Structures are given as C-alpha cells and as structure tokens.
Amino acid sequence: MRNTRVIGYEDTPRDVVATGNDYPAGLVLPSHRHKRGQCLYAVTGVLTVTTSEGSWVVPPYRALWIPAGVTHAVHMGGLTSTRSAYVLPEVAASAALPAHCTVISVSPLLHALLSEAVDLPAEYALGSRDDDLMRLLVAEIARMPALPLNTPLPQDPRLAQLCRALLASPSLDVDIDLMAHKAGMSRRSFTRLFREQTGMSFSDWRHQACLMAALTRLGRGQPVTRVAMELGYSSTSAFTAAFRRTLGAAPSHYLMAGNAS
C-alpha cells in the first residue's frame, strides 16, 4: 500500500511536490490544512471533501483543487487511491488556479503527469526534465474545466446546521416548510436567505445534495435502483434523467474512466 506523509514535503524547496496514498474504505482524514494548494486526484474510490463553505464529491478520474490554507476533511467512500500535487501559493496564483475549492476534469495528460510526478525525487533537479514535468503539471491543472460536483453551505448557523443534517441523510422528500420551521423562520425569509447565501434555491440545493450522495453510493457499488429509491426519486428512470441532465451522463457510465470529462 502506497502512503507518503505530506508533513515535511510541504517545506521542500521546490514549486511543486507530489505524493501518492492508498486508503481503506470509510477512512476519514480529520480537518486539516496545507501551506500549499493541493490538487487531490481520485484514481479509484469516491472522495467527499468538506469545508466550512460546502461539500465536494470527487469521483474516480476527477480531481479537487484545494487552495492553500483551506481547512478540509476527506472521507473515503471506498477503497481509495489518490495522487496529489502540492503547489506553492504564489505559483498557483501565477497560474490563475481557482481561489476556491473546485472539482475539475482530469485529462489523459494530467493523469499521466500526476502518475509520473509521485515517483519523482522530492528535490528534483531544477532545470531538468523533472522540473519541466512539474511546470507542465501546473499548466494542465489550470486548463481543466470545472465540474458541478459541490453543494455549498450557507453561513447562517441555523441554516448551516440544517444543511449539514440533510447532507448526512439527503432526500428529495425533505419539505421546505419543515426546514423553515426548524430554522425558526417564515418560508419567505428562509427562501430569500437561503438563495442569498448559497446562490441557489433550496429545491435546487436539495436536488444537488441528493445527486452528490448518489455518486458516493454508486461508487460503493450500490445498484442504481436502490440509490434512486433511497433518495426519494419516483422511479429509476426519473433519477437517471435528473442525473444525466445535471452531470451529462447516465449513472451507469459516469464513474467509468472513459467518461471523466
């Protein structure tokens, strides 16, 4: 099993360092942060990364860009193999990498670069092929398109607590009036504040939370029909249509390596 400790690596006098790790199903890396920005790539397994701003789901052959200093926890949805590139903040800024956590596609080139990078010496020679590879790695991360695989959290403590509970047990059956009542707010005040703080309606947020949960459950090998029913969809076909409409592919194909765009 591959495991590389990041502590110490972050102080390596190089713009980019890379590590690879394998984790058992269900492992949780508690909240932590890095001095460098991290491109966290899921080769196998489905990762869920949580911060104070929201929750991001990272299926196989996608990656999550985490800016330097962002406190985050990582949940392993199954047997998981990761590759990570850690980029100095000034290098990330120069490459115009995202200022917020963002799930990105992983091109065949980025996959190859990350796979190669983890086997390079930590202090690779400057001006060498290894140095060129790391520069190309940062450039390739920067050109990857963002993917809609996150569920934002409102900052209002009442709404955030309710949303975290819903993320833990998502369902399309959760009623907006009940949510407003639990928050001690009128429906109108609830819907207005929710949209202001998340950028989406509660209905759309609930739908997104269910799809993100679906990705994690499908990644564990649960059947599509079971996932659809447990999340409150009226039928498997309704779930498949919603999944395809949002993510661009049917559930049976989305987690396959050939559909990583």
What is the model's pTM?
0.90
Burial class (CB in 10 A: 0-12, 13-18, 19+), 171: middle
Distances (CA, A) of 219 to 42, 69, 155: 12, 29, 30
Q: Domains of the chain by range and CATH?
A: 9-147 (2.60.120.810), 153-259 (1.10.10.60)
Average pLDDT over residues 138-157: 96
pLDDT in tens, 4-17: 556 568 899 999 99
Task: Quote the pLDDT of residue 188.
Answer: 96
Task: Quote the pLDDT of residue 258.
Answer: 46
pLDDT in tens, 219-236: 888 999 999 999 999 999
